C-alpha cells in the first residue's frame, strides 16, 4: 500500500482527535494514504500528490519528491502499527483512500480491536461491493469550484449517489462565501441530502484565518440546519503534520 511518509521515514499513522465532521473530538488513530486523483489548489496535504515534474498547481508553489513522500507497506505490516495505539476508532484519510480500497478491505480484516472505522473521501470513487460495508461512517467531502478543479473531475455522480444512499455517510464542505454555499445547496438538492447530514467548514490553515471565516458560517448553519464543523486539528496544532 502507498502510505504517506513522514520526514523521519515513518508511515503517517498517528493517534489524535478527529478534527472535523460529525465525530469531531473523538480519539482516533489516523492512517494517511498517499495518492489523490484531484489536485485542489488549497489542499492541506499536497505532499500526498503534488509531485515534482507534474503540471499541477497548488497555492504554496511547492513540489514534493514522490519517492521521499511514500512508504510502501503491506496490510500485514500496517495492522500492528495501528493496533499498537489500543484505540478502537480508525480514520482512513489521504489523499484519496478509495484509490486503495482493495488493500484497505484486507487491512480492516486484520484489526480485531477496531470497532469504528471512518473513511474520508472526496466522493469521486465508487466504493466496491466488498468495501462499502466496512466503514462505520463515510465522511464525504465533494470539492466545489473553489478547489480550482474542473467539475468533470471533482463531481462523479455515480459515486456520489452511492455514497448519499448509504445511511452511514455524512457530507462535509469547505465553504468560503455565498457562491460556495449556493453550490452546496445545488448539490444537496441533486443528491436529496437532508441538511443534518451536511457539515460546513471554514477554509483556513491557521487559527486566525479560521476564526475570521467562522462567524458568518456559524450563523448560516444555525439558521439553515447544517452542522458547523470547526477544524479542531488546525485550531490546536496549526498546519503540523501527524496531528
Strand blocks (E) in the chain: 2-4, 13-17, 27-32, 70-72, 89-93, 116-121, 137-140, 169-174, 198-201, 227-228
Residue 77 to residues 10, 80, 81: CA-CA distances in angstroms?
Answer: 12, 7, 7
d(CA 241, CA 7): 10
- Contact range with ligand SF4 by CB under 6 A, out of 33-41, 76-84, 178-186, 200-208: 33-41
Q: How far is the CB of 65 from ligand SF4 (least distance, A)?
A: 18
Cβ atoms of 187 and 142 within 8 Å: the answer is yes
Rule CB under 6 A: say whether 118 interacts with ligand SF4: no
Choose which of 95, 97, 127, 142 interacts with ligand SF4 (CB under 6 A): 95
Task: Please identify, among the stretches 16-24, 41-49, 183-191, 208-216, the one whose residues bind ligand SF4 according to the rule CB under 6 A.
Answer: 41-49
Please, what's the b/e burial string for 8-23 (b: 16 or more CB within 10 A of its CB; e: otherwise)?
A: eeebbbbebbbbbbbb
- With binding defined as CB under 6 A, does residue 142 bind ligand SF4? no
- Using the rule CB under 6 A, which residue among 1, 31, 43, 73 binds ligand SF4? 43
Determine which helix (DSSP H) or strand (DSSP E) holds 235, and give its type and residue range: helix 232-237
Minimum separation from the CB atom of position 157 to ligand SF4 (A): 17
Range 185-204, binding ligand SF4 (CB under 6 A): none
Which runs of consecutive H residues, i.e. helices, occur in 66-177? 66-69, 75-83, 101-108, 151-154, 157-164
Q: CB of 122: closest distance to ligand SF4 in angstroms?
A: 4
Q: Is 40 in the site for ligand SF4 (CB under 6 A)?
A: yes
Query: Would you give the binding string for ligand SF4 spanning residues 146-185, x where CB under 6 A is met?
Result: -x--------------------------------------
48 versus 111: smaller Cβ distance to ligand SF4 = 48
226, 171 contact by CB (below 8 A): no
Tell me: does residue 117 bind ligand SF4 (CB under 6 A): no
Residue among 48 and 108 whose Cβ is closer to ligand SF4 = 48
CA-to-CA distance for 152 and 173, rounded, in angstroms?
A: 18
Burial track 185-206 (b if 16+ CB lie within 10 A, e otherwise):
eebbeebebeeebbbbbbbbee
Q: For ligand SF4, which stretch binds (CB under 6 A), given 17-25, 91-99, 110-118, 186-194?
A: 91-99
Smallest distance from ligand SF4 to CB 213, Å: 17
Binding site for ligand SF4 (CB under 6 A): 36, 38-40, 43, 45, 48-49, 94-96, 122, 143, 147
Amino acid at each position: 500500500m502507498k502510505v504517506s511518509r513522514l520526514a523521519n521515514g515513518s508511515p503517517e499513522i498517528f493517534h489524535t482527535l478527529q478534527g472535523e465532521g460529525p465525530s469531531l473530538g473523538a480519539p482516533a488513530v489516523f492512517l494517511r494514504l498517499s495518492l489523490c486523483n484531484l489536485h485542489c489548489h488549497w489542499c492541506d496535504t499536497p505532499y500526498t500528490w503534488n509531485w515534482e515534474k507534474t503540471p499541477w498547481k497548488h497555492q504554496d508553489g511547492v513540489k514534493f519528491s514522490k519517492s521521499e513522500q511514500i512508504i510502501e507497506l503491506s496490510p500485514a505490516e500496517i495492522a500492528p502499527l495501528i493496533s499498537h495505539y489500543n484505540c478502537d476508532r480508525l480514520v482512513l484519510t489521504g489523499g484519496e483512500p478509495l484509490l486503495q480500497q482493495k488493500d484497505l478491505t484486507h487491512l480492516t480484516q486484520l484489526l480485531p480491536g477496531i470497532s469504528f472505522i471512518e473513511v474520508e473521501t472526496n466522493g469521486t470513487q465508487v466504493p466496491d461491493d466488498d468495501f462499502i460495508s466496512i466503514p462505520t461512517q463515510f465522511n464525504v467531502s465533494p470539492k466545489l469550484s473553489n478547489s480550482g478543479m474542473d467539475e468533470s473531475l471533482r463531481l462523479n455522480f455515480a459515486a456520489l449517489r452511492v455514497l448519499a444512499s448509504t445511511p452511514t455517510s455524512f457530507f462535509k464542505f469547505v465553504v468560503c462565501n455565498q457562491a460556495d454555499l449556493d453550490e452546496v445547496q445545488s448539490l444537496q438538492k441533486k443528491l436529496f441530502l437532508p441538511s443534518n447530514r451536511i457539515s460546513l467548514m471554514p477554509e483556513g490553515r491557521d487559527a486566525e484565518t479560521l476564526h475570521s471565516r467562522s462567524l458568518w458560517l456559524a450563523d448560516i448553519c444555525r439558521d439553515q440546519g447544517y452542522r458547523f464543523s470547526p477544524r479542531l486539528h488546525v485550531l490546536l496544532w496549526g498546519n503540523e503534520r501527524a496531528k
